[in-house]
């Protein structure tokens, strides 16, 4: 299955007040493994960024005025997400802004039925906790050192890691590791030059250390 991890940054918090999108990022995955296909655009919102929003993402009016407008990238964006599940943190916010832009262009809006909201998922698992992206990263020991400001592309990458933890899945590339684990559950066959087979039985401790190595090394080198 193909998924899109999606995030936006905006001029403010309210579509009703005329706020618009200034950054949109999407990371494509297949079974949660990144395909390296990315959609990332900074946009000229044709509206001033509020002081509160500027403090969050750091994009100024002066910087954004030279960027493309949403209508110039809309078709490329819609093609990128076509037919794929969307995974978004606090999805009603992002989808509300995206659909506002699409309505302005008289284009088909994004159906919430194809969207999974990780905020709702987190609240169902941790109802008494704050479930911001920052707090979820801290809960799952995900590195936040690069997140000095909100950045849609970085937030997509962090969200993928959070989502994997929320659905209690290990790094999806560990299909390889899982296959290795199954092999390691059985005796390992070593073939000598002379063609004879020696059966080497590994201990439970060796099996545990092997699995831990695979888990840590593959996750560390995933990007």
The predicted pLDDT at position 147 comes to 84
Q: Are 99 and 111 in contact (CB under 8 A)?
A: no
68: β partners:
43
> If you count them, how many residues does the chain have?
223
Catalytic residue among 40, 57, 89, 150: 150
Average pLDDT of the chain, as a whole number: 85
pLDDT for residue 146: 85
* Residue 185 tokens, joined: 């559950």
Is 207 annotated in the active site? no
| Structure-token pair, residue 135 | 């707090």
Show the tokens assigned to 186. Answer: 């059985």
In CATH, which superfamily holds the domain spanning 2-166? Ribonuclease H-like superfamily/Ribonuclease H (3.30.420.10)
Question: Residue 44 has which token pair?
Answer: 């000229």
Reply yes or no on whether the pLDDT at 125 is more than 70. Answer: yes
pTM: 0.75
Cα atoms in the Cβ-side hemisphere of radius 13 Å centred on 106: 0
Quick: pLDDT tens for 3-55: 999 999 999 999 999 999 999 999 999 999 999 999 999 999 999 999 999 99
Model confidence at 102, in pLDDT bands (50, 70, 90)? very high
Mean pLDDT of 111-138: 96
- pLDDT of 187 reads 46
Domain with CATH 3.30.420.10 in the chain: 2-166
> pLDDT (tens digit, 9 = 90+) per residue, 136-189?
999 999 999 988 788 999 999 999 999 999 997 444 444 444 444 544 454 444
């Amino acid at each position: 299955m193909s998924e899109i991890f999606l995030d936006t940054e905006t001029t403010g918090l309210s579509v009703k007040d005329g706020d618009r999108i200034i950054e949109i990022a999407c990371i494509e995955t297949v079974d949660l493994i990144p395909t390296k296909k990315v959609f990332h655009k900074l946009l000229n919102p044709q509206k001033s960024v509020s002081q509160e929003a500027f403090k969050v993402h750091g994009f100024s009016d002066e910087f954004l005025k030279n960027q493309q407008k949403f209508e110039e990238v809309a078709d490329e964006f819609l093609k990128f997400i076509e037919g794929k599940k969307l995974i978004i943190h606090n999805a009603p916010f992002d989808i509300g802004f995206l659909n506002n832009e699409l309505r302005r262009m008289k284009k088909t809006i994004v159906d919430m039925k194809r969207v999974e909201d990780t905020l709702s998922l987190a609240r169902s698992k941790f109802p008494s906790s704050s479930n911001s992206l920052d707090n979820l990263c801290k809960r799952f020991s995900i590195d936040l050192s690069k997140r000095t400001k909100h950045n849609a592309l970085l937030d997509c990458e962090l969200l993928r890691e959070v989502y994997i933890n929320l659905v209690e899945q290990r790094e999806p590339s560990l299909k390889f590791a899982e296959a290795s684990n199954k092999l390691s559950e059985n005796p390992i066959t070593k073939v000598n030059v002379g063609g004879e087979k020696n059966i080497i039985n590994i201990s439970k401790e060796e099996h545990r250390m092997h699995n831990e190595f695979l888990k840590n090394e593959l996750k560390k080198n995933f990007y």
